Structure 1
Amino acid sequence: MRELERLIGQIPDFAIDVRNNLTSMLADDTLPSQSKYGLLLAAAIATRNPEVITAMESAAASVLTPAALSAAKSAASVMAMNNVYYRFVRLSSNPEYRDMPARLQMNVIDRPGVDKADFELWSLAVSAINGCAACIDASERGLQEAWLSSSEIQTAVRFAAIVQSVAVALEAAGNDESLAVE
């Protein structure tokens, strides 16, 4: 958890709300630990920010089994692929693509190595960050079938939003520093 404390300390004052939201999120116990920390890792990977990924992976490693760590990484990687493909299919004005097979391997979705609901929750977070409506809808349906409440689903997306905002705040702070050096 030391990496998370360091990450919180790096969030600049102009992003005080982001810092406060991250601190609150870490104390939030709406989701079970495995669900929460797998979600934080998958969302961090989706941000593509090395500092956020390192901090979230360090925190997750103290809570998750190796199988769950791997599944969170799998959720981030397979949804990165699916988000691009299915966002294209949905956004394209050519309806022909909707009837074509995707021909993308995604076996991990059926056998993620963790509870299916956790994997769907992590996939939902990544899809929210990447903006894929089709994937969001699919994950939400899976979570509702697994009897997750709307509050739990909303919490997952709120956490993804906070993780993304941390990455953006750190990027903005880095840009401020590079401008000051010039």
Structure 2
Amino acid sequence: MVIFFDFVKRLLLAIAYSLGLKKRPRTLTKEEQWRARGVVIGKNFHAYDSAIDYCFGFLVTIGDNVTLSGTTILAHDASAKKAIGYSKVGAVKIGDNVFLGYGCIVLPNVTIGNKVIVGAGTVVSKDIPDNVVVVGNPYRILSTYDDYIAKQKQRMETLPVYNISFEDKTRELQAKEKEEVQACGGGFDL
């Protein structure tokens, strides 16, 4: 009987929504959900397909101009919980002007400095200083952030640069870009 009343309730709500008699509740964005759980997030933040520790988000601070790309940020480690009854916890601080590449995992008790690029798949288990590009597990420093950006700007002078966003590209433009990028060994896109 309860199942029947639940069905009727859902049916009446669907009718009310479709007729405009009742507004659908607004779903919070991922960023709003993280903020509601206590994550401190700066300005100009972007996250794509990423996760921040659900229970201990309040231990995570993210600066301005940060991009997460398929990144996981953990502020706890439950490896010993069954044995000792507690999870280890640690704050995570991410500075300003940081890019975390796809598949990065940031472990508890880590600080990532300002002007940092973390390569795809990197496991961040110790602090990263300011102004570096890091990759690997354990990570290694490839260059300074400033040198990396200067090199990319220099490469833009010789490689193709595309100024049409991906959602606006026709199949023909995509095919042309693919051909050019393969022929040149890379390029730059919005």
TM-score bucket (shorter structure): under 0.3
Question: 1 or 2 for the larger relative contact order (CA 8 Å, sep ≥6)?
Answer: 1
| Greater strand fraction, Structure 1 or Structure 2 | 2
| Greater helix fraction, Structure 1 or Structure 2 | 1
Higher Rg of the two aligned structures = 2
